[in-house]
Amino acid sequence: MSTCYVCECRIINRSTVEAVTFAIVLVAVEGFYHFMSLLLHKYPTISNVYREHIILNSIGGKLISPSIICQSCAPEFDSIDTSLSNQLNFFGLMLNIKRDRGENPPVKARIIRTGDEISLNAGGKPVLIRPIIKENQHDGSISIGARDRKEMRIALKGLKRKYSFNKDIEALLNQANSEASYFDEPVNYNLLIDSEKQFRAICKMIVNFYMHNNGNREQILHLIPYIKDGRQQNCVWYYYPFDNLDLDKEPVQILHHLFIKTNSNEKLMYGFVELFSTFKFLILMSKNYIGDSLQYSYCFDVLARTPIASILDISLSRDSVLNIVESRENKLEQLKSNLNKFMLFINKKQANDCISHITQKAIDTSFNGLADGSVPSNDMMRALIENVSEEFAKFFHSQIQFSQENFPANNNYSGDD
């Protein structure tokens, strides 16, 4: 029978009939008042199983354990998990990764050139949050960008109240151009992974992985107050021992990594967490470890949505681990280098996804009504070529313009090995 490592209650998965039978027997044997005490603390009569994502569901994690945390304790960690999710959700959204539960929520970003706020949806698709109104001070003209006629109408009504013009709003709506264009503006998104809440979430992740591998609660007992309340510090910090994001490899793998190593001679236990092949952390799990020398590792391909064999082996001395987590040396340059490469890959993936979408949409449009097994006519093939050529021209023009402004040719993106 499993036990919650936080509160030590039994984790039980009982049906309703089993729960009622158990309660009746326990009352008969222990008496009502003793029964209530046991019920609340040691012997829950109904299922209190919680399916804990060891790597957060919000960033595509799929490794689940139903036997390490009970349903009552799980909500205590919502705030730290949410803090980490809020920062890393952007990358899951840009990659359009699949989750076990729910969809990637959109994030807000700001267009650098204009300061306008927009929403980024799955795959990085930009969507206006509200109409964008630009007033030209030189010629007095006004331009409005809106998602649909309803929003455009509301914006026009506001401008009519402001300027008291006499033009009919519906007539103006009919004059408006409805067109789709490729977004080629750089946007700003604030990323901040240095709050203690987020480090506590990283610590919880590695502790969950340890307990998932039948770890001894006594070895990580001192970490629970830190994870819950932040009462202990300097046990998590950035650590970049390698750069495994190879943009020349096909297919490119974006990995989540968990690794734990114990050293009985040095009484040391430490862990390593890597998220999206970019964000890497070392965790001092115990400097008073008692037990055998062990090693656990887990590797997950985020894009393929499957675990892969892990060859990770990080061997560190006691002094090295203590120095890394306690000195908290600035690792900003390593983080920036890894993040630059990751963003280049995201841009490449989004471009490839867009090309696939353009091609498929052109095929569907040009071959509409064509029976299965039939050969397309010359007119259909001509329409396909024209549709693809036109859309590709627009797309590649936006890509060239964006790349020239944001990725100069002399940029050198390399990891810190």
DSSP letter assigned to residue 73: T
Q: Tell me which of 16-30, 38-52, 85-99, 189-203 is least confident.
A: 16-30
Helix, strand, or coil here: 80? helix
> Which pLDDT does position 23 carry in this prediction?
58
Confidence grade of residue 372 (pLDDT, cut at 50, 70, 90): confident
Quote the tokens at residue 280. Answer: 């890497």
Q: Rounded to an integer, what distance in angstroms lies between the CA atom of residue 155 and that of residue 310?
A: 55
DSSP per residue over 24-44, as a string? HHHHHHH-HHHHHHHHHHT--
Question: Model confidence over 214-241: pLDDT tens digits?
Answer: 999 999 999 999 999 988 778 999 999 9
Quote the tokens at residue 108. Answer: 């807000």
DSSP per residue over 140-151, as a string? --EEEE-SSHHH
- 390: which residues sit within 8 A by CB, 6+ positions away? none
Cα three-residue angle 39-40-46, rounded to 5 degrees: 60
Give the DSSP H/E element, type plus range, for residue 268: strand 268-275
Do the beta carbons of residue 305 and residue 62 sit within 8 Å?
yes
**Whole-Å CA distances, 378 to 361, 368, 375, 388:** 19, 14, 9, 15
Helix, strand, or coil here: 100? coil
Q: Rounded to an integer, what distance in angstroms lies between the CA atom of residue 366 and that of residue 296?
A: 54
Question: Model confidence over 160-194: pLDDT tens digits?
Answer: 888 887 788 888 888 777 766 667 677 887 777 66
Q: Rounded to an integer, what distance in angstroms lies between the CA atom of residue 110 and that of residue 185?
A: 10
| pLDDT averaged over every residue in the chain | 84
pLDDT at 61 over 80: yes
Query: CA neighbours within 13 Å on the CB side: how many for 379?
Result: 2
Quote the tokens at residue 58. Answer: 């919000």
Q: Tell me which of 46-50, 54-58, 103-107, 260-264 is least confident.
A: 46-50
Q: What is the pTM of this model?
A: 0.78
Quote the tokens at residue 350. Answer: 């989004």
pLDDT at 11 over 60: yes
DSSP letter assigned to residue 319: H
